[in-house]
Amino acid sequence: MKLRAAVFGSGWGAHAARALARHPSVELIALVGRGSDRTHALGAELGAPVRSELGLYVDLAVVAVSERVHLELVEPLVERRIALLITHPVCPRAEEVERLANAADRAGVVIRTDYTFRPRPELAALRPREDRGALLRLSIEAPGRWLPIALDVAVCLAGPVHIVHANPAYPRKLAERARRAPHAFVPSMMLTHVSGTVSTIVPVPHAPPAEPVRVCASYERGRVTASLPRGGAAWLALRAGGEVEARELVAPSADTLDASVHARGMEELVACFVDTLEDGARALASLAEEAHLRRVWAALWRATGERAGADVGL
């Protein structure tokens, strides 16, 4: 018997809807929206009815609308015990994310967020392993609009953040502009994780569309470099006598990618969510992790705003 699914939103949600419509274990039974031409066109494309509200029983839903309405929209779905994949940010504040997390725990409902690099083999290749020794340092470069995903990569690899370090070199005039357009001007981040790992996340103005995020994970016994989401991963270590050990861990994709990298990432994530649903979708980001990321973002702005020049602990 197929899982019954619905999608809220026809912008970013269109990628999820197409992935669900193609999945052999899923029946897409509703697109929920305000009845825009875009929503009706998507419904006609996928053969899915358009509804102004759900009003049906479904097993799972993807919520891809503004975070400002997530709380009021998602809470009733949690009460109905519907498994949910929600676009990030889930809510503007960590406290609201925790409220949803507590409701999901009480209802026994799986909720995950759409950090699209989670299923990628490049990310798996970067992860700590016993034979690599301790993860000492992460260096990440990403365009400003990719920084929420870059931050998720750092937390995914190194664990929770303990301190967001001050950036005294961040120009005050730029800080003022950043408050007016927070996604356009983002400071470099320096983080100390509970594990002791130090992460540096540096915004860059330009990056190849297929590999916008570059990561170097430095371990005691070598390093892994990767370009996410599809640029491959490689290991490098120096042995006794100056011998160099170099191995390709993940081959870069031969597919020429453009802006569709976003759509493909969402489609992969939706498929992963459906395929791992019975196991609690543990491969994807939880609400607890999303709440932590919200706190890190808030600490970052405090470190460059009212507490400029001072480290901020979490």
How do residues 80-93 score in pLDDT, each as one tens digit? 999 999 888 888 88
pLDDT score recorded for residue 37: 86
The answer to whether the 3-116+264-286 and 121-255+294-313 domains have the same CATH topology is no
pLDDT score recorded for residue 274: 86
Among the residues of 80-140, which ranges form H helices?
A: 94-107, 121-126
Residue 250 clears pLDDT 90, i.e. is over it: yes
Domain boundaries, the chain: 3-116+264-286, 121-255+294-313
Domain 121-255+294-313, architecture per CATH = 2-Layer Sandwich (3.30)
pLDDT score recorded for residue 160: 95
Residue 38 CA: distances (Å) to CA of 31, 49, 64, 260, 263: 11, 13, 14, 18, 17
Question: What's the length of the chain?
Answer: 314
Q: Which of 107, 104, 106 is nearest to 85 (CA)?
A: 104
- Report d(CA 122, CA 149) in Å as an integer: 14
The CATH class of the 3-116+264-286 domain is: alpha beta
Q: Which of 125-129, 140-144, 170-174, 273-277 has the lowest mean pLDDT?
A: 170-174
pLDDT in tens, 173-206: 666 666 666 555 566 789 999 999 999 998 887 7
Residue 165 clears pLDDT 90, i.e. is over it: no
Q: Which of 65-69, 177-181, 266-270 has the lowest mean pLDDT?
A: 177-181
Mean confidence (pLDDT) of the chain: 84
- Report d(CA 312, CA 300) in Å as an integer: 8
Residue 276 CA: distances (Å) to CA of 26, 250, 279, 283: 13, 23, 5, 8
Give the three-state DSSP class for 48: coil
Q: Tell me the pLDDT band of 115, cut-offs 50, 70 and 90.
A: confident
- In Å, how far from its chain's centre is CA 246? 29
